[in-house]
């Protein structure tokens, strides 16, 4: 709905849209309540121009989330393309998302802030993620069946691992790789052992 709203833009205008989005990400990562003025300044543009490209602050934020959803899709493609074993897919995906968390910190948190029960992720991304867990289950790596639960646990552990200081003991134990740590934790959380109690 935001891609090509009317007729084609001039090249420089299109270019400025990119600069605004990049600047917004950069500035809002530092101060989530930053004004459009600050964003424009960081983009080397005027507030007026920001308004010309994005009718409202809300519109700008929506453009940011749409952009991140595209990166997510691309990440999913990159990691599962070669029909690799599901654990490898999970590890690759994790590594890419770690990079996204660095370059798109603000938007990541924006999308994590659920309103109600929505995840902020596009349906396509959610479906792609679900596929990863379906394959993990088929391969016997996990036992959990709920798509929501799997996705939430994964993203949560990914996030926490990312917040971890560089010299954390558990990181060393995982061979210095945050991705390794996440993969192990996710597999453990989603059910290495079937059911130690009842049922």
Q: Which one of a copy of itself, DNA, none is in contact with 46 (Cβ closer than 5 to 8 A by kind)?
A: DNA
Distance in Å, CB of 58 to a copy of itself, minimum = 14
**Dist. CA 35–CA 106, nearest whole Å:** 14
Q: What angle (nearest 5°) sits at the alpha carbon of residue 60, between those of residues 55 and 66?
A: 130
| Measured CA distances, 176 to 89, 159, 161, 179 (Å) | 19, 16, 12, 9
**Nearest distance in Å: CB 75, a copy of itself:** 21
190 binds a copy of itself (CB under 8 A): yes
Interface characters, 156-175, with a copy of itself (x: CB under 8 A): xx-xxx-xxx--xxxx-x-x
- Please pick, from the candidates 12, 82, 163, 167, the single residue that binds DNA as defined by CB under 7 A: 12
Position among 83, 117, 123, 140 found at the interface with a copy of itself (CB under 8 A):
117
Q: Which residues of 22-50 are buried (b: 16+ CB within 10 A; e: fewer)?
A: ebbbbbbbeeeebebebbbbbbebeeebb
Q: What x-and-dash track marks residues 20-59 binding DNA by CB under 7 A?
A: --------------xxxxx-----xxxxxx-xxx-xxxx-
Q: What DSSP letter does each residue of 65-111 carry, written as one string? A: HHHHHHHHHHHHHHHHTT---HHHHHHHHHHHHHHHHHHTHHHHHHH
The token pair that represents 44 in the structure block: 């080397």
Number of residues that bind DNA (CB under 7 A): 24
Copy the structure tokens of residue 24.
């917004």
Residues that bind a copy of itself in the complex, under the rule CB under 8 A: 114, 117, 144-146, 148-149, 152-153, 156-157, 159-161, 163-165, 168-171, 173, 175, 180, 184-193, 195-199
Residues that bind DNA in the complex, under the rule CB under 7 A: 9-13, 16, 34-38, 44-49, 51-53, 55-58
């Amino acid at each position: 709905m935001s891609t090509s709203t009317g007729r084609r833009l001039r090249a420089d205008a299109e270019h400025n849209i990119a600069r605004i989005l990049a600047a917004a990400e950069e500035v809002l990562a530092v101060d989530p309540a930053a004004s459009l003025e600050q964003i424009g300044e960081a983009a080397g543009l005027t507030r007026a121009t920001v308004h010309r490209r994005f009718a409202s602050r809300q519109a700008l934020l929506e453009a940011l989330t749409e952009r991140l959803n595209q990166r997510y899709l691309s990440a999913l493609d990159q990691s599962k393309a070669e029909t690799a074993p599901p654990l490898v897919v999970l590890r690759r995906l994790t590594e890419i998302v770690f990079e996204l968390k660095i370059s798109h910190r603000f938007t990541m948190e924006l999308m994590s802030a659920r309103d109600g029960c929505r995840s902020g992720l596009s349906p396509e991304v959610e479906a792609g993620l679900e596929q990863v867990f379906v394959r993990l289950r088929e391969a016997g790596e996990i036992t959990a069946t709920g798509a929501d639960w799997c996705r939430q646990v994964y993203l949560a552990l990914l996030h926490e691992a990312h917040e971890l200081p560089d010299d954390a003991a558990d990181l060393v134990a995982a061979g210095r790789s945050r991705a390794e740590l996440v993969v192990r934790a996710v597999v453990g959380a989603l059910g290495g052992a079937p059911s130690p109690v009842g049922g």
